[in-house]
Amino acid sequence: MQAARARQDTLTKPQGSLGRLEELSIQLAGIYAQPIPSIREKAVIVMAGDHGVVAEGVSAFPQEVTPQMVLNFLNGGAAINVLARCAGARVVIVDIGVAAELPEHPRLHRRKLAFGTGNIAQGPAMTRAQAEQAIQTGIEVVEAEIQRGLDAVATGEMGIGNTTPSAAIAAVLTGQPASQIAGRGTGLDDAGLERKIAVIERALSVNQPNPQDGLDVLSKVGGFEIGGLAGVMIGAASHRKAVLVDGFISTAAAMIAISLCPDVKPYLIAAHRSRENGHGLMLDWLGLKPLLDFDLRLGEGTGAALAFPILQAALAILREMATFGEAGVSEKAR
């Protein structure tokens, strides 16, 4: 990082004039332990899982949409497929807890832990053993991709109702009330949002998750795909790979990952600020500053895929821009 910073300060520009591009290039140098790293192979890992809490009316869409969208991902027709293609990234689809049997498909990773979580308004989402298994699954999936050749990973998810457990996780860890965290998700009206807030409050009361124990929070009020993404982040960081964190659900997963392993944080890059209500509070708790603010709230990894070219631009500046000495420009121009 010191070498990257020193090079940035000798490039043909006033020091610091490329702002966060410079900061990002220095962070990436630290992540890869190289003064001028490069990112070639990219992937978006999309974890899919269902949630028993949809029975409480917390989503504008029915649960059947989850397996239907997984098939759409596999067929290449979803927003994440389009944006990943634009970024030159592959899409990795994992069934970690969809509440339906999915047909065989060569690109589907079948890692189902259960047919959806329990209803958090009535009891825990999963057992502690299942929470551990979800995290381990994420680690194994990203390690397999690294073995295939992977330089940077983006996190994505699919699961109708998953903004509710994500908001519950955020409320526990930030200490903020559910009303400050919960948003409209797939498009709830005012009555639906009030119902969702009440469900989250009930889930926290029923389960009493321990904010000092990330695994307890995940098992009490989380989701299989959230645990899987936390595992992806931990696994990628352990192999010195950059992680682009997508929106609201991915950020909840990052909160779990950091709760379990604080050393993961320097490897995380917040791709964007979601339109979801409490996302800014979650990013502040993590100490991450988002790269983009496009009013996105789709999930799937779409915001993270959009940020891949920014990483590559930051590194291209570091690698390709001439120094004052190389260009024959007076260093007084600094």
Instruction: Determine whether 326 is an active site residue.
Output: no
Residues 207, 122 within the same domain: yes
Contact (Cβ atoms closer than 8 angstroms) between residue 121 and residue 202:
yes
Active-site entry in 64, 300, 320, 326: 300
Edge-first strand listing for the sheet containing 242-245 = 108-110, 89-97, 42-49, 152-158, 242-245, 268-270
Does 154 map to a domain? yes
Same-domain pairing of 114 and 221: yes
Q: Are residues 25 and 165 in the same domain?
A: no
Strands 152-158 and 242-245: parallel
pLDDT confidence bin for 333, thresholds 50/70/90? low
Number of domains in the chain: 2
* Same structural domain, 106 and 205: yes
Residue 55 lies in a domain: yes
CATH classification of the domain holding 300: 3.40.50.10210
Residue percentage of the chain with pLDDT more than 70: 99
CA-angle at 192, arms to 251 and 59, nearest 5°: 55
136 and 253 assigned to the same domain: yes
Residue appearing with tokens 């098992």: 219
Strands 152-158 and 42-49: parallel
- CATH number, domain at 325? 1.10.1610.10
Which residue, 221, 95, 229, is CA-closest to 166?
A: 221
79 and 12 belong to one structural domain: no
Same domain, 31 and 138: no
The dihedral of CA 44, 268, 39, 322: what is its sign? positive
Are 143 and 26 part of one and the same domain? no
Q: Is 314 a domain residue?
A: no
**Cα–Cα distance for residue pair 150/293, rounded to 1 Å:** 27
Residues 171 and 238 in one domain: yes
* pLDDT tens column, 29-80: 999 999 999 999 999 999 999 999 999 999 989 999 999 999 999 999 999 9
Q: Does residue 177 belong to any structural domain of this protein?
A: yes
pTM, two decimals, is 0.96
Helix, strand or coil, per DSSP, at residue 90: strand
Q: Are 136 and 182 within one domain? A: yes
**Containing domain of residue 123, as a range?**
42-309
